[in-house]
Chain A
Amino acid sequence: MAENTYLIRGAAILGGDAEDLLIHDGVIAARGNGAATHEAAADATVIEAAGLVALPGMVDIHTHLREPGREDAETVETGTRAAALGGYTAVHAMANSNPVADTAGVVEQVHSLGRASGWVDVRPVGAVTVGLAGEQLAELGAMADSRAQVRVFSDDGICVHDPVLMRRALEYVKAFDGVVAQHAQEPRLTAGAQMNEGAVSAVLGLGGWPAVAEESIIARDVLLAQHVGSRLHVCHVSTAGSVEIIRWAKSRGIDVTAEVTPHHLLLTDELVRSYDPVYKVNPPLRTETDVLALREALADSTIDVIGTDHAPHPSEHKECEWAQAAMGMTGLETALSVVQETMIETGLMGWADFARVTSTVPARIGRLEDQGRPLEAGEPANIILVDPAARWTVDPYKMATMGRNSPFKGRELPGAVIATFFKGHPTVLDGKLNAPYRHPETASAVSGN
């Protein structure tokens, strides 16, 4: 049997009718009735996929891989293993590493680590400002022109709060079709903030992170994007008010896209009553009203994409007092299941919509040409097979990520990734890691050693 040929039998493509898919040499060679009789199919490894849904490989617009600098939290290798297991074929690695990804050198390092790992495409995000300090533009053009081909720029974790700097960044990235992904958080309104400001924070005596601190920045930024005619992406939208502002901006034709995390679609600030820092995240868990508004916005495309904001932390940064704990949650290995639970099982979306928000549109925002493509003959074979009937209980200690900080620990969720094909190669088979893809130049480099 040929190693580069797979015949997927009877998968429900985007949740539709059962059809065959033939993968050969990294591309979809045939779809439907002609697949099994295609000349390449003779040598194919057959994968029986009855009952499984075939989807385009997921693309995460917002991932923290922590390397370089915090290899005790995650590495490109472990983070991308987690991504492949979660159904991803591409991730955008956020810039808040150490050193910060604010030069061509650092983004090229992350890019080559990703290629060497071979589990997914790793697309580095470049910092907007030098050292994420919010004072001076980083060399955005150099990062765009580097081998990493950076198109998404973000100071994520920190808001580009200076309105002039934000305006300049939005304008400047037009030169290379880039986008600024804003972490919308007014810093003065969130000094010392520990959780959503509202009924629960009042009782718990934890510093409030008011919705207005997010909404005021989004309102300003959409107006700036309109003024200078730029593309804006809003990271991890978390409030009902933000949804309204983005809906208004889109109705005016402003070129804004927005993401929501899986955890903001499921969890609320009621969980903070436990004072368990596994629920500490930025932006914070909000209220039931916000959760429902975010789901509705994702269903009607006001919010465009799912971004995991996968943020692994070493356990000592969570096994402490709430105020001392780091913000962030892991998400790569639970994203599909949480979105299935909150959007598909609730009837708000079908699997075709799922493909749009987890693959097609995030690939378009990041300008990834061979990701998020239709499952048609001639297209790159980035494909996942999902068992929507599976149910499993989340155990952070069984995950590939080094982070044990999953807020879904102990929760039963639907849906399991059975296989992930990255460039026609199965990185995941039978729900387990198989083997990484070897890029041609990496393969020769390895054999040369």
Chain B
Amino acid sequence: MKHLLSTQDLSATDAIRILDTAEEMAAVGEREVKKLPALRGRTVVNLFFEDSTRTRISFEAAAKRLSADVINFAAKGSSVSKGESLKDTAQTLAAIGADAVVIRHWASGAPHRLAATDWIDAAVINAGDGTHEHPTQALLDAFTMRRHWARLHGTESQGTDLSGMRVAIAGDVLHSRVARSNVWLLRTLGADVTLVAPPTLLPIGVEEWPCKVSYNLDETLQAGVDSMMMLRVQGERMNASFFPSTREYSRRWGFDDTRLRALDELGLKDTIIMHPGPMNRGLEISSAAADSPRSTVLDQVRNGVSVRMAALYLLLSGDTREAVPASAQPGATTQSTKESH
């Protein structure tokens, strides 16, 4: 595996290998000395063109636990804000000797550009690009769900997938990179995914995705859900007429106290409530739901470090590179490109 750009091309085998490796990394995190020498002497650059303290410190902790040297490059307040191009930035990092670039960018596809061009030869990890993908978020969500699902079935997580798990993802799917990465990955792992959103916040073309689509959160809950994932909704969307008001949004698509009680009434005692954070309490999720024993919000944060350790380890430890099939390579998207004649 050379890069981690998207979950769409990730095979079930690769996905499970990352999750299994993350389980081993999680064990490290429970030790008194939370550190492995695996990436000693390697340099990981966190290249952030968009503020995201949470994701950045998660990657930073992951790289440091693997003994890598970490450079944080925040594009705001740097030469980038003075007009330096992505190409020049990438070439600069290459000259400094970066072995991996963890990139967060407001433009969809920016990590693909780093991986596909000859600007830099480092491993590229997509830490969220525009409204495209956020693969490590989906992997940490899957990791969290898999532990829960394995526990319910009385098995170890290692080697298992999410077959039969019913996952609902509710919120602003249109603008969500988390939703996209989750749909592809959860489907690959065998889960049944339902997206719940107002029609204005679903992309044209969603009907071709490998999931169900619902406009009604209550009906979705009634049909049975094992994992309920709420997406962050930006209040600004209201001004662009995606929905009439935040109150109406909350009533129809928010996970409020009534819906929290409904889980009990529906006999869904093992259903977990997930959120990638940061949460808008009172908008897409009520405080009672966010703080309930069902909530896995803090588990997700904790698991994020393990999953990112696994991704860095698998990308940067040379002996496993060849084990990943060509479909995970960046060129695969262009190869599958269809042309009309």
> Could you say which residues of chain A place their CB within 8 Å of the CB of B109?
204, 206, 275, 321-323
A208 in the interface (beta carbon within 8 A):
yes
Q: Is the CB of B87 within 8 A of A273?
A: no
The docked-state distance in angstroms from the alpha carbon of A58 to that of B130 is 43
Asked whether A202 and B131 contact (CB < 8 A) given A208-B204, A320-B86, the answer is no
Asked whether A323 and B339 contact (CB < 8 A) given A202-B209, A208-B204, the answer is no
B336 in the interface (beta carbon within 8 A):
yes
B57 in the interface (beta carbon within 8 A):
no
Asked whether A201 and B337 contact (CB < 8 A) given A275-B109, A321-B110, A321-B113, the answer is no
Q: Is the CB of A197 within 8 A of B204?
A: yes
> Could you say which residues of chain A place their CB within 8 Å of the CB of B209?
202-203
Q: Is the CB of B205 within 8 A of A267?
A: no
Asked whether A201 and B203 contact (CB < 8 A) given A271-B339, A320-B85, the answer is yes
Kindly identify which residue among B177, B180, B203, B333 contacts A273, using a CB–CB cutoff of 8 Å. B333
Nearest-CB residue, chain A, relative to B108: A205
Nearest-CB residue, chain B, relative to A265: B340
Kindly identify which residue among A199, A205, A316 contacts B85, using a CB–CB cutoff of 8 Å. A316
Number of residues on chain B facing chain A (CB within 8 A) = 35
Nearest-CB residue, chain A, relative to B85: A320
B8 in the interface (beta carbon within 8 A):
yes
Q: Is the CB of A205 within 8 A of B340?
A: no
B116 in the interface (beta carbon within 8 A):
yes
A186, chain B: closest CB distance, angstroms? 16
Q: Is the CB of B108 within 8 A of A322?
A: yes
A146 in the interface (beta carbon within 8 A):
no
A266, chain B: closest CB distance, angstroms? 7
The docked-state distance in angstroms from the alpha carbon of A199 to that of B206 is 7
List residues of B (124-172) whose CB comes within 8 Å of A's CBs.
Answer: 129-133
> Could you say which residues of chain B place their CB within 8 Å of the CB of A341?
341
- 1/0 contact trace for A111-128 toward B, CB 8 Å? 000000000000000000
Which B positions have Cβ atoms within 8 angstroms of A? 8, 85-87, 105-110, 112-113, 116-117, 129-133, 177, 180, 203-206, 208-209, 333-334, 336-341
26 A-B pairs whose Cβ atoms sit less than 8 Å apart in the complex: A197-B205, A198-B204, A198-B205, A199-B205, A199-B208, A201-B205, A202-B203, A202-B206, A203-B205, A204-B108, A204-B132, A205-B130, A205-B131, A205-B133, A206-B131, A206-B132, A208-B204, A268-B340, A270-B339, A271-B337, A275-B112, A316-B85, A322-B107, A323-B106, A323-B109, A324-B86
Which A positions have Cβ atoms within 8 angstroms of B? 194, 197-206, 208, 210, 266-268, 270-271, 273-276, 288, 291-292, 316, 319-324, 341-342, 346
